[in-house]
Amino acid sequence: MKTCINCKISKPKEEFYNKRKTKSGVSLNARCIPCVNKYTKDYYSIHTDKKKENSLTSQLSKYGLTPSNYRQMVENQQNKCKVCKTDGSLLKRRLYVDHCHITGKVRGLLCHSCNVALGAARDDISILRALIQYLTDTST
């Protein structure tokens, strides 16, 4: 039997993860499996949110924006992609900051699909017109 340092309950050794092998045998984790799992879930929940926030701040700073500016843009666009109007709450990813690659001017927030499509066309209006013409000509 071993007592978990977290929940203070004595449990069979099988209810503890093996920590590492030592010369004298296997060392067991100080927390029981349920406590380790809860701790891990809580830890990553907190740190993943911080990591996402730091990543967003870093991305926004490229365009001279703050998280507050970004939230205002989301609000102004009613949390929808500026092109296809898909609701941001239905997306797996946040709305992306779209900008002109020549001037650096921020144009709006786009969903991942619209952002990729625009990037694939290299912001070239003639390519986009050719794509529209292609779709028009080949539609049945």
Torsion of CA 53, 77, 92, 60, to 10 degrees: -30
Tens-digit pLDDT profile for residues 52-91: 777 788 889 989 999 999 999 999 999 999 999 999 999 9
Tens-digit pLDDT profile for residues 116-134: 999 999 999 999 999 999 9
Please, are residues 5 and 36 in contact by the beta-carbon 8 Å criterion? no
State the architecture of 80-140 in CATH terms: 3-Layer(aba) Sandwich (3.40)
Half-sphere exposure of 12 (CA within 13 A, CB side): 1
How many Å apart are CA 68 and CA 55, to the nearest integer? 14
Query: Both tokens of residue 125?
Result: 């209006």
Q: Bigger pLDDT: 49 or 135?
A: 135
- What pTM was computed for the model? 0.62
Q: What is the pLDDT of residue 87?
A: 97
Percentage of residues in the chain having pLDDT higher than 90: 69
